[in-house]
Structure 1
Amino acid sequence: MTTLMFPIGHCLGTYYASATDSHVQQVRLGGEIVGLTDEEFAVWSLAHGLADDRSRWDRNRIVELLAGSEIPDSIDQLLARHLLAEVDLDSLADFAARHRLLPLHLGLGNTPEITAVFRSGTTEFPLAGMTRTLYDLWLSGHLSPNLLVACKAHDAELSAVLASLHALLAPSAACLDLATEEQP
């Protein structure tokens, strides 16, 4: 069985209730705001991938990167809280039906010099590049109730989208969130 690990939710930053209180790292998961400890947040953040690391992003890769650090492995706790998803590549449709892709960067389009690569980032600094199909999905996939519907609408192969997703998650060009209800 081949699997990939994906973070679910949108990072909202650190929250202090008052100047003397401890803090949590907030992640929006659907319509709920969830608090994570710094250690849980480190594992959740690591599940996004690392820039320029094209390794298969699975549980083993995350555990390998945590080895030797002071950060405890909280993968199972985050999976139970639906903040991580372990996806079997042989059954992608179930995952895609339960999640959707949300764009987080500005869309920058392509350039006359490199017409095949579409970029996202800030107006001064492109941070992610993608194919036209993935770019179209990234731009408007959030209008679909889930990733499965979005891939069908954009003629995007689900396995190819998931295989390239960490390239969008690592620089925070996108996040995965819970699916919304399909409208009749």
Structure 2
Amino acid sequence: MVKTIIPVGTSLGPYFNENRELECCEVQLGMETVEVTDEEWAVWRISHHNAELHSQRKYGIDSLVKDVQSENDHLNRLEIKRHFFRLKELNLLIQFDYEADSVESFLRSFKMAPTAVSWGNLPDSPDKFRIGPDQENYIEISGLNRGVWILAHKFVSIWGACEKIAEMANTADVKAIATDFMSDIPLMISMQCGHLEPAK
């Protein structure tokens, strides 16, 4: 299976100095503001875009290269991969293998800040809840995942929110709740429903 690329942090955009020159672009990573080049910022920003592949957890390095080149045809594959590995070093991009990597370890490493609105459910699908930046752009998630999503910044980590939801739902199966939420994380980020921050 493709190692899924998952962006971390939230964009602060370009920073121009008093001479109107671009000094850097900035990404907020927890309590730290990380400075990147405009090309690195473009790669990081574009890594959010492909909602279809993020929903399938199939957004890997080849998909990223293709998407970046479609918007920045002056960048070749080697340059994009160099920027990608730099962003990994800065912890702004993570690769996760959904078949081999530990869900618990990942969720203990991050919080998620909710950045969208919950638009509730519908009479014909009461078990699905819509979240998104507006009523035209949303995703549907389970009630348990909505609970984790709204609490994931209140605890030390997302795993702590999963434990709380398991307690509230009277189920001891924290792992099942965590695994299901983990499957929604790439799409949530792609659809601007939340961003990851390091757990401290």
- Measured against the shorter chain, the TM-score band is 0.7 to 0.9
Structure 2 CA distance, aligned partners of 1:59 and 1:161?
A: 23
| 2:116 aligned partner, one-letter code | H
Q: How many residues align?
A: 180
Pairing partner for 1:99 from 107, 110, 123: 110
Q: Is the 8 A contact 2:145 2:180 kept in 1?
A: no
Compute the displacement of 1:80 (Å): 0.5
More helix by share: 2
| 1:29 aligned partner, one-letter code | L
Larger-Rg structure: 2
Report SS of the residue matched to 1:20: coil
| 2:27 aligned partner, one-letter code | V
Q: Gapped runs of 5+ residues in structure 1? A: none
Pairing partner for 1:76 from 82, 85, 99: 85
Q: Is the 8 A contact 1:13 1:27 kept in 2?
A: yes
Cα separation, partners in 2 of 1:44 and 1:110, compared to 1, 3 Å: same
Q: Gapped runs of 5+ residues in structure 2? A: 167-175
2:182 aligned with 1:171: no
Pairing partner for 2:155 from 144, 151, 157: 144
The equivalent of 1:118 in structure 2 is 129
Structure 2 CA distance, aligned partners of 1:113 and 1:17?
A: 54
Report SS of the residue matched to 2:161: helix
Name the TM-score, length of structure 1 as normaliser: 0.83
Structure 1 CA distance, aligned partners of 2:17 and 2:139?
A: 34
Structure 2 CA distance, aligned partners of 1:126 and 1:3?
A: 26
Structure 1 CA distance, aligned partners of 2:180 and 2:129?
A: 16
Runs of 4+ in 1 over 4 A off after TM superposition: none
Compute the displacement of 1:123 (Å): 5.6
Cα separation, partners in 2 of 1:169 and 1:122, compared to 1, 3 Å: closer
Q: Is the 8 A contact 1:110 1:116 kept in 2?
A: yes
Report SS of the residue matched to 2:25: strand
Structure 2 CA distance, aligned partners of 1:145 and 1:168?
A: 20
CA RMSD of aligned residues (A): 2.3
Name the TM-score, length of structure 2 as normaliser: 0.77
Compute the displacement of 1:96 (Å): 1.7
Identity of aligned residues (%): 23
